[in-house]
Amino acid sequence: MSQDTLTQPKLPVELESAHPREILAWVRDHVPGTIVSTSFQPSGLVILDLLKELGWNPPVVFLDTLHHFPETLALAETAREFFGIDLRIFKPQGFETAAALAAVHGEKLWDRDVDLYQTITKVEPMKRALESLGARAWISGRRRDQSEGRAILPVLEPKGERLKVNPLANWGKSETWAYILQKGLPYNPLHDQGYPSIGDAPLTAPVGIGEDERSGRWKGKGKSECGIHTQI
């Protein structure tokens, strides 16, 4: 897709502080070819419920890294049924199991080269998803309060030939969880065990009191993002 083929619509200023439902409705009406990416974190669950309310069912991309917690994989299937989503699962190119990946790249690649591991399991599959689905825009559940690196996250984020949409950018953890509990949405039981943000099992740890929401991700690896929001 060339840059010339995409006319980037301008987000009305008033929507920068609007309810996520209004932001999603605007995207639905102005940006054809939109997809959603989620690993079924709390923010993603809110977005899926709002999309259901709006009667909008864009493709929902889930990156199966082959190293998710069993609880995450179970939630993906629960969410498929609960929200009635058009779930598209993308795995690392050429691999169906963690054992197959280890046979080619060695055991515990995340310990030896975490960047290569994330490229294989997340960045390449996400690029492939965007290209195969012809995505002009993609919706993510990122919020400004999740980490210092996301503190100035815009609602609508032009990224090269595509738009990224962050409808919950203005929401906090308390608003997100209040919505989930009020609506009775399914969520990952690991959240009740000290994991506010859940990634791959080998790279996710419980979070201590006073630490930010994503501090349990890539602990000791000097990373705060997997690469899909910095390289794509």
Residues annotated catalytic, as ranges: 226
Closest CA to 188 of 97, 77, 90, 113: 77
Residue 73: Cβ-neighbour burial (10 angstroms; 0-12, 13-18, 19+):
middle
Spacing of C-alpha 132 from chain mean position: 18
Angle between helices 20-30 and 42-54 (to 10 degrees): 60
Closest CA to 124 of 159, 162, 163, 92: 92
